Amino acid sequence: MSTQIHDLGYRAYAGERAGVAWAVRSLAVHSMRRILGLKRAGKHKIVPALTIGFAFLPAIVMIGIAAFVPAVNEFDIIRLGDYFGFISFALFLFTAAAAPGVLTTDRTSGMLALYLASPLNRTTYVLAKFIGIFSVMLLVTVAPIVFLQVAFTLVGSGPGGIVDFVASIARAIVAGGILAAALTGLGMFISSFPKRWGIASVAIVATMLIPIIVAAILTEGADAPDWVMFLSPPDILGKAWEHLIGDPVNNSLALDRLDSTLVVLAAIAYAAVFVGLTWWRYQHIEVDR
Amino acid sequence: MTTPPPPPSSPSQPPPPPPGAIAQPSPSQLQPIPADALVVVDRVSKFFGDIVAVSDVTFAVSPGVTALLGPNGAGKSTVLRMMCGLALPSSGTVSVMGQSPRSNPEIAAEIGLAPQQESVFGHLTALQFVRASAELQGVANADAEARRVLQLVELDANDQRFLPTYSKGMRQRVKLAQAIVHEPRVILLDEPLSGLDPRQRLHMVALFHELGDQGRAVIVSSHVLEEVERFGSNVVVITQGRLAAQGDFREIRALMDNRPRRLRISSDRPRVLASALIGEDNVSGVRFSGDHIEVDTNDVVAFARAIAPLSKRVEARLFEVAPLDEGLESVFKYLVGR
Amino acid sequence: MRRERIGNDALVQDLASTLGPEVRPVGAPVISASRVAKSFGATTVLTDVTVDIQPGITGLLGSNGAGKTTLLSLLLGLEPRNGGVLQVLGHDPQSTGPEVRARIGYSPEHHHLPADVQAADLVRHLAQLHGLPAQASTERASDALWLVGLGEERFRPIGTMSTGQRQRVKLAAAIAHDPALVLLDEPTDGLDPVQRDDMLALIRRIGTQYGISIVLSSHLLEEVERICDNVVIIANGTVIRSGTINQMRGGRTSVMVELDSGHERVAETLRTAGLVVAVSGSKLLVDAPPQPDADPYWIHDYVRDVVAWADVGLRRLGDQTVSLEDVFLASNDESNEAMREASA
């Protein structure tokens, strides 16, 4: 081999350059990693791990019962329709933990200015963040149910035929998808205002809890008409999920009396509105340079 | 048989001291404290646990504009904080007009500080901010005084916008206004010109001089040496936690004579000129740099006498002869050991 | 209290600079603006910006409020124009913003950067957003950080870094994806004189050896004079001067001579040759009546000969040029005058 000194100077890049889609994907993946605490210190993995674990907990319990005590109908313990109610608090907490972390920090850390100076613009930035948060939300809104159905089928208590099986999975995806979209949109919209992510988190939890309480008081205690429940997004989202899963709970409450189609449409509308509001907010947000 | 040539005489010049090692004068050699000194820092050291931030620094500041210079992280900010009483020296004393700024609140009223940080701006307008500061300092007619200083720094007192929305240059001016509203005798400014455009900077420097002419001590910490040269020539240089030099920087420069000087020469026949220069006793080095020659000389005065006749002799035209290390930047670099 | 210096990396860079070819960018203007206008609501910020910015290192100067930041936003396609034609690297940033931004690097003025992210991760992430595949992003991020002298620190969280190091992280992030054009906003802000020197040398190297054009926005005219080839001055929403540094400073005016002694004697002798000499302290300002046929540097030769004959020390000799600051202030004054007259 002949002797050489190599030029260690600057190397121009002559390779491929991808477009906006690659940038969106990169930012979405980056956001997902941050939410799950991957590539970060251990303490950032605790809340996501606990919340996801909690979302799967009823499923694991039900499968355990189905597997080891076949005589007991697992659905006596928890009905599928109850699932959302059972883990709803975990869902709200997860939204409150996920969205603010990846939105407010960009604004305070100066990253937003750098992102907007890349091929991303305000719209594709919001899109990338939405995809990232939404994908992780699916882990708690869809994955547990799918897991449940698959596991039941494996232990023999699942839906009868292939068609029913596929249908049940499809329902889980649609129901969980709309729920995830709406929660993501709401979380993003609220996170687009404060400078500190802690404030956004509290605001998100408040936005979930307060309408539930107020709507319950109004309809049950103060005899308000049933349609008041439409004004409570968390109630509507939960109910829509139940309807789509195909196993709605009926406790003779105002929420249960609402027409199922309207409830589902309202949930979809809420999802669209929250996402739209977030997009609008980011079109006008001031960026520090 | 001829006698052998005499042996070369032994060198009589002592080797130059290593850069940055200006000998710390012993206490008996310290310059006497000027009678009009407003701030006296006397053998001050500051430790943060095991870390020595400032080590045995002594200097005095008289009325007028004084520049406080030093590399980042080398103790300058700590010295500044001790001068306005925000920190207490671990040993030694800091006195402002004879008293310690930390233990005497009345003296604190004679000190104005415009720090680099802007954490206290909050939801205030410029007027509210400056007026609040004036009220805190017990200024009578706080509103009128606040308006006066805002006008002095060319800001609109009636602007209703909140401070965080202000541009950097405007925030700098608000900070200066707040620092002078209570007419302090000692004014400490940390990087006050950053973010200002050239005209605004000229205006601010003129303001510093005005304040200095009024008998106040204006101490400006700055990294932009070209600006500092405009403040006047009084500098205090802190590096590695110690006082590297103080006084008129031109005189400091002259004190550095044992270091070779460097000049840039531009000629139509650089190589011919360079060859001739190498033959000169007072030339210690010649290098080519782009179209120019850079010459190092141990004896600037002798070199200055020699360059014109030498160039004429070899018929080299001189486009330019320029000393490369006369300014404050060269002084600074030498002092901080570059 | 370790002062950051480029250290061993300087050796690598010196080696590289002696071996690598100088890759100065050449060719068509990198930015071409014609009557560009921008208003925000009722406020007109830019009225008639017309300029061609050539490849190389260009200084963008302007008083606060003159429209510099807005112009940078338009170049990046972050805001729509209200008029005029603008081409950056051959494309219109308004209609093809993502494509233009993919080829531009940007270092903003502020120092905010995420504290818990490692420098290498940040640079890699941004390079990837600008279109580089994952592996290339990682490699080029590492290269860029070494180039700016942060090789050993590249896995440290940015929150633990000093101002000087952060400025260099921003610079690395701006060049990692091999842009054709880099926009730097106050890149030496917060740096001490030695760090500033290093940063300016780095920027100069990037602009002359790496084939990357640079637009440098700065209030420090001395540093613009030091490293920029070209200058653009903006005032009152329009470009009032543009050109090379030498064009800015105008042709030769007087010849300045600084002597140790013998000022009057030398001055008198020069006057006998028909030169106009003004003595001010240790300096002589020498002017010649215009002589179209004469060698323009005959004054230099004659001064040299007179000084040699007088046997006095020559400290300084050269053309007395106007400083960039004088040009800047004078141009601004002219522009403000014109505005006043126009509105009167």
How far apart CA B165 and CA B171 sit, in angstroms, is 9
Q: C82: which DSSP letter? A: S
Q: B17: which DSSP letter? A: P
Contact partners for chain C, using 3 or more CB pairs closer than 8 A, are A, B
How far apart CA A185 and CA B125 sit, in angstroms, is 35
C9 part of contact set with chain A, CB < 8 Å: no
For the ranges A53-62, A251-260, B263-272, the lowest mean pLDDT is seen at A251-260
Please tell me which of the candidates C20, C131, C210 has its beta carbon nearest to residue A17: C131
Closest CA relative to residue A264, chosen from A178, A187, A171: A178
CB contact under 8 A, B317 and C301: yes
Backbone angles phi, psi at C126, to 5 degrees: -70, -35
Interface of B with C in 275-314 (CB under 8 A): 300-301, 304-305, 307-309, 311-312
Best A6, A114, A121 member to test C by mutation, with max C CBs in 10 Å, is: A114
Please tell me which of the candidates C19, C110, C178 has its beta carbon nearest to residue A13: C178
Number of structural domains in chain B: 2
Say if CB B130 and CB B208 are below 8 A apart: no
In the predicted structure, residue A226 carries a pLDDT above the cut 90: no
Closest CA relative to residue C216, chosen from C200, C205, C194: C200
pLDDT band at residue C303, thresholds of 50, 70 and 90?
Answer: very high
Mean pLDDT of C221-249: 91
Lookup result for tokens 């290093």: C198
Mean pLDDT of A231-254: 84
Closest CA relative to residue C75, chosen from B64, B190, A117: A117
Does residue B338 lie within any of the structural domains?
Answer: no
For the ranges A54-63, A185-194, B329-338, C36-45, the lowest mean pLDDT is seen at B329-338
For the ranges A179-188, A217-226, B175-184, the lowest mean pLDDT is seen at A217-226
Chain C residue with minimal CA distance to B316?
C301
CB contact under 8 A, B317 and C195: no
Does residue B265 lie within any of the structural domains?
Answer: yes
Query: pLDDT tens digits for A77-130?
Result: 667 777 887 788 888 888 998 899 999 999 988 899 999 999 999 999 999 999
Give the gyration radius of chain A's Cα atoms.
22
Does residue B20 lie within any of the structural domains?
Answer: no
Query: pLDDT tens digits for C265-300?
Result: 999 999 988 888 989 888 899 987 777 677 778 889
Interface of A with C in 230-289 (CB under 8 A): 288-289
DSSP B48-117: ETTEEEEEEEEEEE-SEEEEEE--TTSSHHHHHHHHTTSS--SEEEEEETTB-TTT-HHHHTTEEEE-S-
How far apart CA C165 and CA C119 sit, in angstroms, is 10
| Nearest-neighbour CA in chain C from A124: distance (Å) | 10
- The 10 Å CB-count burial string (b at 16+, else e) for B105-124 is eebbbbbbbbbeeeeebeeb
Residues B267 and B153 occupy one common structural domain: no
Partners of B75 in beta bridges: none
How far apart CA C197 and CA C10 sit, in angstroms, is 13
Does residue B213 lie within any of the structural domains?
Answer: yes
| Nearest-neighbour CA in chain B from C125: distance (Å) | 29
Residues B250 and B204 occupy one common structural domain: yes
Residues B131 and B55 occupy one common structural domain: yes
In the predicted structure, residue B97 carries a pLDDT above the cut 80: yes
pLDDT in the model for residue B16: 42
pLDDT in the model for residue A73: 63
Does residue B158 lie within any of the structural domains?
Answer: yes
Order of strands, edge to edge, in the sheet holding B318-323? B283-289, B292-297, B261-267, B318-323, C314-320, C254-259, C283-287, C276-280
Residues B315 and B188 occupy one common structural domain: no
Residues 6 or more apart whose Cβ sits within 8 Å of residue B327: B225, B226, B229
Among B205, B238, B254, give the residue marking a domain's end.
B254
Total H helices, total E strands in chain C = 12, 13
How far apart CA C282 and CA C275 sit, in angstroms, is 18
Chain C residues touching A113 at Cβ < 8 A: 108, 110
Query: pLDDT tens digits for C62-85?
Result: 998 888 989 999 999 999 999 999
Backbone angles phi, psi at A193, to 5 degrees: -105, -55
pLDDT in the model for residue A78: 66
| Helical segments of chain B, H only | 76-83, 105-108, 126-136, 142-152, 168-180, 198-213, 225-231, 249-255, 270-278, 300-313, 328-335
Say if CB C133 and CB C125 are below 8 A apart: no
Say if CB C225 and CB C204 are below 8 A apart: no
Higher-scoring residue by pLDDT: B285, C296: B285
Mean pLDDT of C37-44: 92
Q: A176: which DSSP letter? A: H
Does residue B27 lie within any of the structural domains?
Answer: no
Closest CA relative to residue C271, chosen from C299, C243, C312: C299
Residues B266 and B208 occupy one common structural domain: no
How is residue C156 written in tokens?
A: 């440290």
Say if CB B95 and CB B33 are below 8 A apart: no
| Nearest-neighbour CA in chain C from A117: distance (Å) | 6
**What domain range includes position B273?**
261-325
Chain C residue with minimal CA distance to A110?
C112
Interface of A with C in 35-54 (CB under 8 A): 39-41
Lookup result for tokens 């936005």: A207
The CATH number assigned to the domain holding B305 equals: 3.30.70.100
Does residue B122 lie within any of the structural domains?
Answer: yes
In the predicted structure, residue C191 carries a pLDDT above the cut 80: yes
CB contact under 8 A, C112 and A10: no
C221 part of contact set with chain B, CB < 8 Å: yes
| Nearest-neighbour CA in chain C from A95: distance (Å) | 22
Contact partners for chain A, using 3 or more CB pairs closer than 8 A, are C
What structural domains and CATH numbers belong to chain C? Answer: 8-248 (3.40.50.300), 252-320 (3.30.70.270)
B223 part of contact set with chain C, CB < 8 Å: yes
pLDDT in the model for residue A72: 64
pLDDT in the model for residue A281: 94
pLDDT in the model for residue A100: 93
Say if CB A200 and CB A191 are below 8 A apart: yes
Kindly report the number of other CB atoms within 10 A of residue B12's CB atom. Answer: 5
The CATH number assigned to the domain holding B238 equals: 3.40.50.300
CB contact under 8 A, C112 and A23: no
Total H helices, total E strands in chain B = 11, 13
Order of strands, edge to edge, in the sheet holding B39-48? B51-61, B39-48, B91-96
Chain C residue with minimal CA distance to A12?
C178
Residues 6 or more apart whose Cβ sits within 8 Å of residue C76: A116, A117, C93, C97, C100, C101, C104, C106, C183
CB contact under 8 A, B223 and C64: no
Percent of chain C with pLDDT over 70: 91
Residues B112 and B212 occupy one common structural domain: yes
DSSP C152-212: TTTTSBGGGS-HHHHHHHHHHHHHTT--SEEEEESTTTT--HHHHHHHHHHHHHHHHHSS-
How is residue A265 written in tokens?
A: 């449409």
Residues B131 and B101 occupy one common structural domain: yes
Please tell me which of the candidates C76, C98, C209 has its beta carbon nearest to residue A20: C98
Higher-scoring residue by pLDDT: B108, C241: C241
pLDDT band at residue A7, thresholds of 50, 70 and 90?
Answer: confident
Residues B248 and B271 occupy one common structural domain: no
Does residue B243 lie within any of the structural domains?
Answer: yes
How far apart CA A194 and CA A203 sit, in angstroms, is 10
CB contact under 8 A, C102 and A118: yes
Mean pLDDT of C170-198: 94
Kindly report the number of other CB atoms within 10 A of residue A126's CB atom. Answer: 21
Best B78, B305, B334, B336 member to test C by mutation, with max C CBs in 10 Å, is: B305
Chain A residues touching C15 at Cβ < 8 A: 5, 8
Contact partners for chain B, using 3 or more CB pairs closer than 8 A, are C
| Nearest-neighbour CA in chain A from C235: distance (Å) | 20
CB contact under 8 A, C304 and B312: yes
The single-letter code of the amino acid at B296 is D
Best C1, C2, C221 member to test B by mutation, with max B CBs in 10 Å, is: C1
pTM of the entire structure? 0.85
CB contact under 8 A, C190 and B191: yes
How far apart CA B170 and CA B156 sit, in angstroms, is 10
pLDDT in the model for residue B20: 44
Residues 6 or more apart whose Cβ sits within 8 Å of residue A73: none
How far apart CA A102 and CA A97 sit, in angstroms, is 9
Q: Give, for C249, the enclosing helix (H) or strand (E).
A: helix C245-249
pLDDT in the model for residue C128: 96
pLDDT in the model for residue B45: 95
Among B219, B254, B289, give the residue marking a domain's end.
B254
Say if CB C59 and CB C75 are below 8 A apart: no
CB contact under 8 A, C64 and B196: yes
For the ranges A31-35, B118-122, B249-253, C137-141, the lowest mean pLDDT is seen at B118-122
Closest CA relative to residue A262, chosen from A211, A286, A227: A227
C143 part of contact set with chain A, CB < 8 Å: yes
In the predicted structure, residue C9 carries a pLDDT above the cut 60: no
How is residue C332 written in tokens?
A: 């601004």
CA atoms within 13 A on the CB side of C143: 18
How is residue B231 written in tokens?
A: 């403040």
Among B229, B254, B279, give the residue marking a domain's end.
B254
Query: pLDDT tens digits for B152-208?
Result: 998 998 988 888 888 888 889 999 999 999 999 999 999 999 889 999 999 999 999
How far apart CA B103 and CA B94 sit, in angstroms, is 11
How is residue A9 written in tokens?
A: 């100077």
Collapsing DSSP states into helix, strand and coil, what is residue B129? helix
Please tell me which of the candidates C63, C314, C332 has its beta carbon nearest to residue B304: C314
Please tell me which of the candidates A8, A26, A114 has its beta carbon nearest to residue C16: A8
Lookup result for tokens 């029913």: A164
pLDDT in the model for residue B4: 46
pLDDT in the model for residue A64: 81
Chain C residue with minimal CA distance to A105?
C114
Residues B206 and B312 occupy one common structural domain: no
Lookup result for tokens 């800001």: B155
| Nearest-neighbour CA in chain C from A259: distance (Å) | 46
Best C13, C124, C129, C167 member to test A by mutation, with max A CBs in 10 Å, is: C129
pLDDT in the model for residue B257: 61
Lookup result for tokens 């230099």: C300
pLDDT in the model for residue C16: 38
Higher-scoring residue by pLDDT: B3, B126: B126
Query: pLDDT tens digits for C197-225?
Result: 999 999 999 999 888 999 999 999 989 99
Lookup result for tokens 């060198």: B11
C76 part of contact set with chain A, CB < 8 Å: yes
Interface of C with B in 115-174 (CB under 8 A): 162-164
